[in-house]
Structure 1
Amino acid sequence: MVSIAHHGHVNPSLGIVRELVARGHRVSYAIPDEGDFVERVRATGAEPRVWKSTLPAAGDDPEAWGETRLDLSELFLTDAVQALPQLAALYRDDVPDLVLSDISGWAAQVLAHRWGVPYVQFSPNLVPWEGYEEEIGAQLARELKSSARGRAYYARWHSWLAENGLAGTDPDTFMGRPPRSLVLIPPALQPYADRVDTRRYS
């Protein structure tokens, strides 16, 4: 399991991790050593594996996240790029049978592809519904690509994916449409629950 050190990303996963351990699975959880997150992970019975994130820590000045969607997107991509070699080193001699990650775990998804093992994303948030790309996603992408900085952001995405054996992969699809996802909030909180593909999102 891989996550950033923020309550809304870690806490929803802990019950599932605890249950996996209780069922006899050997579970490790890669988490930045910030706040009490390592201890929270250890309390589930999983083995914490520490990596360093470049994201603002929980409790930091909110302005550290920037003011625009592009500011935020760049922060998460930068973090994923630098997390990848750290995570690869943590698991160099212990490649997992299954990779789990929070929605922020793009580096984990890349590693699952590299290792040829299944990947499942935990989503503590809303998930795309059928028609999301046409109704919302395409417009958001156009807005980002309307500036030179936004186009550079997408170019960096394409380059990073290509360097890791995922040439031709659309960044928005990679981020928004994982092969399999466990949704950690109930259907009542999904804006279009009746249009969510339950073969992909459970």
Structure 2
Amino acid sequence: MTKHIAVVSMPAHGHVNPTLPLVRELVRRGHRVTYPIAEPFRSAVTGAGADFAELPEWERPRRPPGKIEFTPELMGIMADTVIAQTRRTLPELLARFERDRPDVVCYDGMMPAGPMLAALLDVPAVQLFTSFASNEHYALREELFPGLDAGVPELAGALERIRRFAGESGVSRPVGALFAPVAEELNLVFLPRRFQFAGDSFDDRFVFVGPSVEGREGADGWQPPAPGTRLLFISLGTAMNNRPEFFRLCLEAFGGTSWRVAMAIGDQVDRAGLGPIPANFEVRPYFPQPAVLGRATAFLTHSGMNSTMESLAAGVPMVSVPQMGEQSANARRVEELGLGRRLPAEPTADVLRETVDAVADDPSIKANLADMAKVIRDAGGAPAAADALERLLA
């Protein structure tokens, strides 16, 4: 039976991209998907077959160059940003879906508007984890703030403000937010259970389906190098990539080497300000990541979860240069599982080059990647997620 499914996601590529194969699979099965999100994501969601519903864009300050120090104070600021956005969007979501009621609301764990919408419409809610899931045995919060619990004033205050707003809006059910999620009857996790910290502690409410990249493999004008060429892909993602000094270090480390390098510098770094670009480099704001990873020999990455999962799905070894706490957790897990290495805090050009060379040539890493690729295939991807959702709705 055809169902109407609403997907409420955080407007960030690392949160949207993992959901698109699921959207595509649901539409292929005959369901109707409505995806309310900001205008820049219109083509992505309509390309997956969903109905686009425009929401206001998030107001994000321009980040200064350098790494982001993820402090409890920053958590409070993030919480206020989420509350402000929820106040803006919840009335629009209600107005939209009261006229066109969904059978279920699938929501990103960073979006409290999702469970609030489901509660106010009295429909089931399904939580989508695009990063590590949390339960009573493991919480991503502990990775970001080692040694601190949820009672720290900045964290407790952030969560209390979100829950107070939910109560003011007429929502009586528990609402999780930021890094204190509340488990639903069904929670879809877009990574394999083996990659999850404390993976065996999660019960049947959590379905680990792994990553999917179907529908995002387009080359978008990018021409891969000749077969047999060693290709290094360098990217710090789409959010925290204002690191001109790091990109200059990459030019120094790999310029004139046997590597062919595709380097994504984002939209905040001035290409001309990087200096002369070596002939073996192709530098763009962004590349079609799944297509490049499909040909890459190694990936120098910020270790965002979306990038990490896409690299594992392609079987590409990683050298991690995380920019924040969540990415540090991903990098640690990659190293623990023998899937890549993490750079020291202040690498030299020689260390950068030597680490990439070592990872690309390490037979144990290659074997571990091949094993993880099988784990990912067995997890089922988007079809397994759609199966779980249909079971719930049946």
TM-score relative to the length of structure 2: 0.44
Query: Which residue of the partner structure matches residue 38 of structure 1?
Result: 42
SS of alignment partner, residue 42 of structure 2: helix
Among residues 150, 158, 163, which one is paired with 2:168 in the alignment?
163
Q: Which amino acid aligns with 1:38?
A: R
Residues 53, 83 of structure 1: 8 Å contact kept: no
CA distance in 1, matches of 2:96, 2:112: 16
SS of alignment partner, residue 122 of structure 1: strand
Query: Which residue of the partner structure matches residue 62 of structure 2?
Result: 61
CA distance in 2, matches of 1:12, 1:52: 21
Which sits farther off after the overlay, 94-103 or 65-74? 65-74
Equivalent residues, number: 191
Change (3 A) 1:173 1:3: closer
Query: Which residue of the partner structure matches residue 183 of structure 1?
Result: 189
Q: CA deviation at 1:184?
A: 0.5
CA distance in 2, matches of 1:73, 1:55: 13
Query: Which residue of the partner structure matches residue 202 of structure 2?
Result: 196
Among residues 79, 92, 101, which one is paired with 2:85 in the alignment?
79
**Which protein has the bigger helix share?**
1
Query: Which residue of the partner structure matches residue 142 of structure 1?
Result: 151
CA distance in 1, matches of 2:52, 2:90: 17
Cα deviations across residues 161-187 of structure 1 (Å, max 9, x unaligned)? 212333474756995123121000112
Change (3 A) 1:171 1:119: closer
Residues 29, 49 of structure 1: 8 Å contact kept: yes
> Aligned Cα RMSD in Å?
3.0
Query: Which residue of the partner structure matches residue 119 of structure 2?
Result: 113
Change (3 A) 1:15 1:164: same
CA distance in 2, matches of 1:29, 1:168: 23
Residues 80, 107 of structure 1: 8 Å contact kept: yes
SS of alignment partner, residue 57 of structure 2: coil
Query: Which residue of the partner structure matches residue 10 of structure 2?
Result: 4
- Report 1 or 2 for greater relative contact order, CA contacts < 8 Å, sequence distance ≥ 6: 1
Which blocks of at least 5 consecutive residues in structure 2 are unaligned? 1-6, 208-394
SS of alignment partner, residue 36 of structure 2: strand
CA distance in 2, matches of 1:42, 1:172: 27
CA distance in 2, matches of 1:173, 1:113: 18
Q: Which amino acid aligns with 1:144?
A: P
Cα deviations across residues 120-148 of structure 1 (Å, max 9, x unaligned)? 11111001133236x949943222358xx
TM-score relative to the length of structure 1: 0.81
CA distance in 2, matches of 1:172, 1:27: 24
Q: Which amino acid aligns with 1:75?
A: T
Q: Which amino acid aligns with 1:71?
A: I
Residues 187, 205 of structure 2: 8 Å contact kept: yes
Q: CA deviation at 1:15?
A: 0.2
Q: CA deviation at 1:73?
A: 2.2
